[in-house]
A and B are shown apart, each in its own frame.
Chain A
Amino acid sequence: ETGVTQSPTHLIKTRGQQVTLRCSSQSGHNTVSWYQQALGQGPQFIFQYYREEENGRGNFPPRFSGLQFPNYSSELNVNALELDDSALYLCASSSDDREETQYFGPGTRLLVL
């Protein structure tokens, strides 16, 4: 176990709705990255937060947004859900002294109908 937890494990939404996914980082980790993984594909980088500030973003539209809290837990928010947003959403955390190594949570499976 990596110590990274995510909630909920599964979620079903309909097109146009909004969703919030949560991640609790491993203790002592102040960097969190979020990824989207479609079926049969590798994870795609959405964005990264470091000490509550966004620290880089992948090729995702602004309706994907995030927050990191002082206790280093974080949220991924997706507005105006589209069918193609159906995927496994993963968060990964890393620490200052080993930034190059990230540890993933189990993911949240989102289905958009």
Chain B
Amino acid sequence: SQKIEQNSEALNIQEGKTATLTCNYTNYSPAYLQWYRQDPGRGPVFLLLIRENEKEKRKERLKVTFDTTLKQSLFHITASQPADSATYLCALDNSGTYKYIFGTGTRLKVLA
């Protein structure tokens, strides 16, 4: 069956450390994988997109990797800050359809 999985448990890290979030998928062939930030009661905010032929993408303190052999994406926030506390969602489109399937999200809490 098709699955997209993120750590359901909250991730607590100390300010200044690097947060690493994982997104694993099964039986999908994504052309694109996206990461979003979502604050409580708000819509998701687009952060980064990575294509199937890209290994890594960076934007300021954010880095995404995409391993289509392992069927996994890692999302890193370096020099984390309490303002980075939120739920982070990964989403993939199946075979370039632009219709995205989301994981359940991982809640990140950065402790001051």
Within 8 A of B (CB), among A11-66: 31, 33, 35, 40-45, 48, 56, 58
The answer to whether B44 touches A33 (Cβ under 8 A) is no
Q: Which residue of B lies closest to A109 (CB)?
A: B41
- Count B-side interface residues using an 8 Å CB cutoff: 24
Chain B binding surface SS class? strand
Chain A binding surface SS class? strand
A33/B99 contact (C-beta < 8 A), A104-B43, A109-B41 known: yes
| Bound Cα distance A34, B49 (Å) | 20
| Bound Cα distance A27, B45 (Å) | 17
The answer to whether A40 touches B44 (Cβ under 8 A) is no
One digit per residue, 1 when the CB lies within 8 angstroms of any chain A CB and 0 when it does not, for chain B 14-44 equals 0000000000000000011010100001111
